[in-house]
Amino acid sequence: MTDNPYLTHLDEKGVARMVDVGAKPDTERVAVAAGTVYMKPATLALIQQGALKKGDVLSVARIAGIMAAKKTSELIPLCHPVALTHLDVDLTLDSAANAVRIVASARTTGKTGVEMEALTAVSVAALTVYDMAKAVDREMRLGDIRLLEKHGGQHGDYISEDK
């Protein structure tokens, strides 16, 4: 049904499957993803001041992102479990955009990449920011979640043009 070599999660009949990576060599793999939580200026000020009742938003979101990345294969059905050798989640306040910017960097040495782990870390960190601040701002928007770069593997390096 499909003869597209890029749709590796589909078999020859178009049925979803987990890709067999057993024959691939172990290589160092790195992925960096980013996203943004947009909010009202007053919400950003409360986060900056540490004045939200639920606590330190940035620290909790950082830990949530790290925990989520480690569970990516449990959340994404065809994703392989990956032994992360490093994961960093950085959250910064952007007063000009009234936003929290999130960047996650994942690293492993293995047979498959860590793009999904980096993207999952960003997504869950963003959801955690929303959860912790929703009592004061239900209009927050999560956006711009994307892969910024990846290194390693048979498809080589990727660096986003809108980094």
131 among known catalytic residues = yes
108-121 pLDDT tens trace: 998 888 999 999 99
pLDDT for residue 7 is more than 70:
no
8-54 pLDDT tens trace: 666 676 666 666 665 677 889 999 999 999 999 999 999 999 999 99
Predicted TM-score (pTM) of the model is 0.88
Compute the distance between CA of residue 114 and CA of residue 135 in angstroms, rounded to an integer.
Answer: 33
Phi, psi of 47 (to 5 degrees): -65, -45
Please state which CATH class domain 27-159 belongs to.
alpha beta
Domain layout of the chain by residue ranges: 27-159
* Cβ 52 vs Cβ 116: under 8 Å: no
Neighbours of 2 (CB within 10 A): 12
56-81 pLDDT tens trace: 999 999 999 999 999 999 999 888 89
Amino acid at 54: K
The catalytically annotated residue of 131, 144, 157, 162 is 131
What is the pLDDT, as a whole number, of residue 113? 85
